[in-house]
Amino acid sequence: MHRFEYCAPASLAEAISLLDRYGESARVIAGGTDLLTALKERWERPAHVIGLGAIPDFAYIICDDAMGLRIGAGTTVRTVETSAVVRSRYPAIACAASTLASIQIRNLATVAGNICRASPSADMPPVLIAHDARVRLVGPAGERIVSLAEFFTGPGRTVRRTNELLTEIQVPTPRPHAGAAYIKHSPRRAMDLAVVGVAAALALEDGICRGVRIALGAVAPTPRLAVRAGAVLEGWEATAERLEEAGRVAASECGPISDVRGSADYRREMIRVNTRRALRQALDAARDVDHESAQ
C-alpha cells in the first residue's frame, strides 16, 4: 500500500503555499475521480495529497452580461449540467457535461479537474475552447489568465506550474444571435470515453457566420482548435457546400491514433461528419435565438 501525507488547507493561500513547498511530490484532489484510480493502480505515487474540499467559496457558478460565465474550481460537472443559467445561456456546455461518465462520477468530478487531467478524450475542454474560455491560475507570484486553447501541452500535461492552482474557468458572454453544439461520438451512449468529440460555436449577422470556432477532442495529443476549418465559414453564408468543406478541413487538421476503439482513418471520417453536424446544430441554435428575439 502506497502511503502519503494528506493535507487539508483551509484557504487558497495555504493550498498554494503547500504546493510551493512540495512541488512535484504533491498532487491536488477535488472530486478525486481520476486521482483515486491512479493511486489504486499505482500510476501515481505522490508523497503529499492536497485536498481542496475545505477551502471556502471554491464552488460557484456566476453569470452576468458584463463578466460572462464564471465556474469555480470546486464546481462539480453535475452542477454545471443541471444549472438553470448554464442550460439557458450556454446549453452546449451543459450538454457536454451530461455526456461525461456516469451520474455518480459527475456528482463528484469537477470541471477544473477534468481540464487539469488533460486527457485528449476529455469531454469539457472542446466545448469550452469553442466558447473561447480562459482559466485563472493562481500561484505564489500572483494570478494569470490563460486561454484554454493554449492551456494543454500534451497528454496529461498543461502550462499550469506545480505551485499553481486553477481556481476559475471564465467563459465570455456569447455574441448576439449565437449558437453552439457539442457532439460526442462513442460506442456506447453513456459511461464511455469519446472516440471523437466536436464542438462548434458561431453567431449569425444578417445570415453571415461570425466568430466561428470549431474544437476537436480525442483526435490529437491535446484538444485543439480547428482554425482553418473555422475560417471556411467565417464571413460567409453557411451553405451546405461550406459546411461540408469545413468538415473536410477539420479532418485534415487532426492527428488521431489507431487503437482498439477506432482507427485513425475512422476518427478522421467521424471528424468530417460530426463537424458538419455540430455546425448545423450551432446554426439551428443561433436561428432559434434570432426567432426568439424577433418575437
Q: Is residue 20 part of a domain?
A: yes
Which CATH number does the domain housing residue 98 bear?
3.30.465.10
Domain boundary among 133, 150, 171: 171
Alpha-carbon distance 20 to 250, whole Å? 40
Same-domain pairing of 198 and 267:
yes
Q: Is residue 291 part of a domain?
A: no
Same-domain pairing of 183 and 225:
yes
pLDDT average, residue stretch 15-28: 97
Q: Return the percentage of the chain with pLDDT > 90, whole number.
A: 89
Same-domain pairing of 209 and 274:
yes
Q: Is residue 72 part of a domain?
A: yes
Mean pLDDT for all residues in the chain: 95
Residue 292's pLDDT band (cuts 50, 70, 90): low
Same-domain pairing of 156 and 219:
no
* Cβ atoms of residues 75 and 84 within 8 Å: no
**pLDDT above 80 for 237:** yes
Beta bridge partners of 147: 134
**pLDDT above 50 for 75:** yes
**206 is written with which cell numbers?**
444578417
pLDDT in tens, 220-231: 999 999 999 999
Of 29 and 294, the one with more pLDDT: 29
Q: Is residue 24 part of a domain?
A: yes
Please provide residue 79's backbone torsions phi and psi, each rounded to the nearest 5 degrees: -60, -40
> What residues make up the domain containing 153?
61-171
pLDDT average, residue stretch 235-248: 98
Which CATH number does the domain housing residue 282 bear?
3.30.390.50
Same-domain pairing of 156 and 96:
yes
Same-domain pairing of 193 and 280:
yes
Alpha-carbon distance 116 to 159, whole Å? 10
Domain boundary among 171, 187, 208: 171
Alpha-carbon distance 220 to 231, whole Å? 20
pLDDT average, residue stretch 200-211: 98
Alpha-carbon distance 285 to 3, whole Å? 51
Residue 290's pLDDT band (cuts 50, 70, 90): low
Q: Is residue 294 part of a domain?
A: no
Same-domain pairing of 153 and 202:
no
pLDDT average, residue stretch 241-266: 95
DSSP assignment of 255-288, as one string? ----BTTB-HHHHHHHHHHHHHHHHHHHHHHHHH
pLDDT in tens, 124-166: 999 999 999 999 999 999 999 999 999 999 999 999 999 999 9
Domain boundary among 118, 150, 171: 171
Query: Which of 42-46, 74-78, 190-194, 270-274 comes out lowest in average pLDDT?
Result: 190-194
Which CATH number does the domain housing residue 38 bear?
3.30.43.10
pLDDT in tens, 88-110: 999 999 999 999 999 999 999 99
Q: Is residue 83 part of a domain?
A: yes
Same-domain pairing of 275 and 209:
yes
* Cβ atoms of residues 238 and 286 within 8 Å: no
Same-domain pairing of 70 and 114:
yes
Same-domain pairing of 67 and 163:
yes
pLDDT in tens, 156-205: 999 999 999 999 999 999 999 999 999 999 876 666 789 999 999 999 99
Q: Given this model, what pLDDT does residue 190 score? A: 63
**pLDDT above 60 for 295:** no
Per-residue b or e along 88-107, where b marks 16 or more CB atoms closer than 10 Å to that residue's CB: ebbebbbbbbbbbbeeebbe
Same-domain pairing of 140 and 224:
no
Q: Is residue 155 part of a domain?
A: yes
Kindly give the residue spans of alpha helices, DSSP state H, lying in the chain.
12-22, 35-40, 77-82, 84-89, 91-98, 103-106, 111-116, 124-130, 227-233, 240-252, 264-294
Same-domain pairing of 21 and 92:
no
pLDDT average, residue stretch 45-72: 96
Query: Which of 11-15, 38-42, 225-229, 242-246 comes out lowest in average pLDDT?
Result: 38-42
**pLDDT above 80 for 26:** yes
Q: Is residue 144 part of a domain?
A: yes
The total of structural domains in the chain comes to: 3
* pTM of the predicted model as reported, rounded to 2 decimal places: 0.95
